[in-house]
Amino acid sequence: MAQADLAKFQNSTGSSWLGYTWPVALGLIALTFPTWQYITTESWSTEQGSHSPLVLASGLWLLVRMLATTHAIQSRPSIGRTAAAIVPAAIGLIVFRAAAVIELEVYAMYGLFVAVLYAFIGWRALASLWFPLLYLGFAVPLPDSLVAALTNPLKLWISDAAVAILYLAGYPIASSGVTIQIGQYELLVAAACAGLNSLITLTALTLFYVYISHKAHWRYMAVLTLIVAPVAVFSNLVRVLILVLLTYHAGEATAQGFLHYFAGMTTFATALVTIYALDRSILAARSLFEGRQT
């Protein structure tokens, strides 16, 4: 389907567009190859960046599909505006690479791709592609400092909540910050709750699902998207509870082995199913309410 959409777009834009495509594509590949090399070897191999290939593939598919429908509103911006968009992004990419500031280098690369797309299709067509461009932004790895700042309050809350639940259940458990002490074992929620990164992944995939299913109903999209954060936090609370109980009953080696990753996959899958079930339930309730009104 994506290949057919791309062919339709290429045919509709004419040979002049194609004449510029391959030189620009080769130039982008040459300029951004070191950045892609870092992303694929360093970022995608971590739990924090493991979602990026899926987001990138689905985002590009959606971008190509929507790109084929923008021919009527495409325009060529002036050389001055094109240069004003591309040159700063390219300079930023080179400067941040030379300074070894990899996070900003990745953002500059993303900005460069958007600027080049603008040069080919103009502002109106680019604005119509706001969702796939926003969605592709989730494939860009966040700086570790930003992730820590965003997740530390959640880790503290999850630690306190897990301790309170298990204490009420009769377990010998206490906590100090993100450190949980249960029996003879000590766990760091910073490690046990690395699954908080699934909040980013779950948000991205939910946005994709909601847009594909309900893009004509932006209010409903907003409501369902707001549900993502509570579901993700609750799922990670369940994960921490599972890991703490595994540590207490089966030992630290068992909890930090295969079952550690299995717990992460299970809770993430549960979160996705929960989002889908909530979507279906809300739609069913709305249909029932509208039926009674008529």
DSSP string, 246-270: HHHHH-HHHHTTHHHHHHHHHHHHH
Better pLDDT: 220 or 77: 77
Q: What is the pTM of this model?
A: 0.75
Q: What mean pLDDT is reported for the chain?
A: 80
**pLDDT, position 234:** 83
Residue 133 tokens read as 């461009």
* Distance between CA atoms of residues 257 and 251, nearest Å: 10
* Lowest pLDDT segment from 6-20, 130-144, 148-162: 6-20
d(CA 91, CA 105): 10
Letter string b/e over residues 126-140, b meaning 16 or more CB atoms within 10 A of that residue's CB:
bebbebbbebbebbb
pLDDT at 14: 43
Q: Specify the pLDDT at position 84.
A: 93
Strand partners, 179: 176, 188
124 is catalytic: no
Percentage of the chain surpassing pLDDT 90?
Answer: 22
Mean pLDDT, range 89-116, rounded to an integer = 90
Spot the catalytic one: 239, 280, 286, 292.
239
Rounded Cα distance, 162 and 239, in Å? 10
Domain locations in the chain as residue ranges = 2-139, 144-293
193 is annotated as an active-site residue: yes
pLDDT at 47: 65
Provide the greatest CA pair distance for the chain: 73
> What average pLDDT does this structure show over 260-272?
74
On the question of pLDDT at 129 being above 90, the answer is yes
* Residue 100: predicted pLDDT: 83
- Confidence band (pLDDT; 50, 70, 90) for 28? confident
Predicted pLDDT of residue 110: 93
Split at pLDDT 50, 70, 90, the class of 193 is low
- pLDDT of 211 higher than 80: yes
- pLDDT score at 114: 94
Among 193, 219, 280, 286, which one carries the catalytic annotation?
A: 193
Give dist(CA 112, CA 89) in Å, integer: 5
**Least trusted range by pLDDT, from 7-11, 69-73, 271-275:** 7-11
Residue 194 pLDDT exceeds 60: no
- CB neighbour list of residue 206: distance below 8 Å, 6 or more residues apart: 224, 225, 228, 275
